[in-house]
Amino acid sequence: MEKIATRGAYGEELVKLAEEYPELVVLDADLAGATMTKGFAKAYPGRFFDMGIAEADMMGFAAGLAACGKKPFANSFAMFTAGRAWEQVRNSIAYPHLNVKCVGSHGGLSVGEDGATHQCVEDLALMSAIPGMLVLNPCDGPEMRKAVRALLEYDGPAYMRLGRMAVESVTDEVAGYEFALGKAAMLRDGTDVTLAATGLMVQRAMAAAEILAAKGVSARVLDVHTIKPLDTEAILAAAKDTGCIVTSEEHSVMGGLGSAVAAFLSETCPVPVVRHGVNDEFGRSGKALEVLEAYGLTAEVMAEKALKAMELKKG
């Protein structure tokens, strides 16, 4: 089984697709070695622009490039792409609906040792709040590769989160898996509860489903790589078929997947929704896996949340 960080797959795919998409240009803000755009920089120096530690300016340049027909991918850490440059993304990119792909690497707690200033658990919320923004959070290498191509085909503003930590591939193990923007992928079917997960919580959801199966609980696993627009069809079907949902994300429980699912279902098919994520807290330093564990972002905790959701369903 392949084990690669989504940032690694992203960097490789950019290089792979460069010939096919001559309008692709890549910008970075002094983090090419970390966001993994360094491969592209080396292979296509004429189409790579290191804008220095100036994220706001990078977004403006990307907007101008897009206004002239380029397909810019602008890269930094999630904290700075979505945080520092939020207003540039909103006003110079999203408002004029320009074709810029804003990419935030090192999303979530799994940044690890760098600690809270670099562990962005608000990026999905920040970017989702902007009208017309497509928001992606692929879970593994194979899915990331498909997402990069899909973003190149998509004409409009988008945000995509990348992860720092190497993660196991799961989507390539699932028969019939297909990637489409805005469509959640069902990785496992079930009848008692749905685990709707995003990013590296998808792998944990698969493990949680195993834990639950051992207890006689049948869990559906949805890989929600597109946070916005939410795949309301898949969420509604899950609510109807399984009667309760656990959302799981390496992100604040506010403003991300959990909020989106709960808000949508409360208006369409009110079933119990239990949110699994970061509970209105900053992260802290530690090894990535230790930090995830410390914040309860594990398969075990997710399985407990599933049992709780099933309890709520009974009323």
Instruction: List interacting residues with other proteins (CB under 8 A).
Output: 25, 46-47, 49, 51-52, 54, 56-70, 72, 87-88, 91-92, 95-97
Q: State the nearest-atom distance from the C-beta of 152 to other proteins, in Å.
A: 17
Cβ proximity to other proteins: between 54 and 236 the closer is 54
How far is it, in rounded angstroms, from Cα 119 to Cα 121? 6
Helix (H, G, I), strand (E, B) or coil at 28: strand
| Cα of 314 vs its chain's centroid, Å | 32
Q: State the nearest-atom distance from the C-beta of 123 to other proteins, in Å.
A: 20
Cβ proximity to other proteins: between 22 and 33 the closer is 22
Cβ proximity to other proteins: between 52 and 270 the closer is 52
- Per-residue DSSP letter, 91: I
Q: State the nearest-atom distance from the C-beta of 116 to other proteins, in Å.
A: 24
Nearest to 35, CA basis, from 74, 72, 70: 74
b (16+ CB within 10 A) / e for 119-138: bbbbbbbbbbebeebbbbbb
User: Looking at the chain, how many residues does it have?
Assistant: 315
Nearest to 157, CA basis, from 135, 129, 182, 189: 135
Cβ atoms of 51 and 61 within 8 Å: the answer is yes
Nearest to 32, CA basis, from 19, 49, 46, 47: 49
Nearest to 83, CA basis, from 52, 59, 112, 115: 59
Q: State the nearest-atom distance from the C-beta of 24 to other proteins, in Å.
A: 11
Q: State the nearest-atom distance from the C-beta of 61 to other proteins, in Å.
A: 4
**In this structure, what token pair is assigned to residue 168?**
């196991």
Nearest to 198, CA basis, from 265, 132, 128: 128
Cβ proximity to other proteins: between 91 and 285 the closer is 91
Q: State the nearest-atom distance from the C-beta of 25 to other proteins, in Å.
A: 7
Cβ proximity to other proteins: between 5 and 66 the closer is 66
Cβ proximity to other proteins: between 96 and 270 the closer is 96
Cβ proximity to other proteins: between 93 and 136 the closer is 93
Cβ atoms of 263 and 120 within 8 Å: the answer is no
CB count within 10 Å of CB 227 equals 29
Q: State the nearest-atom distance from the C-beta of 91 to other proteins, in Å.
A: 4
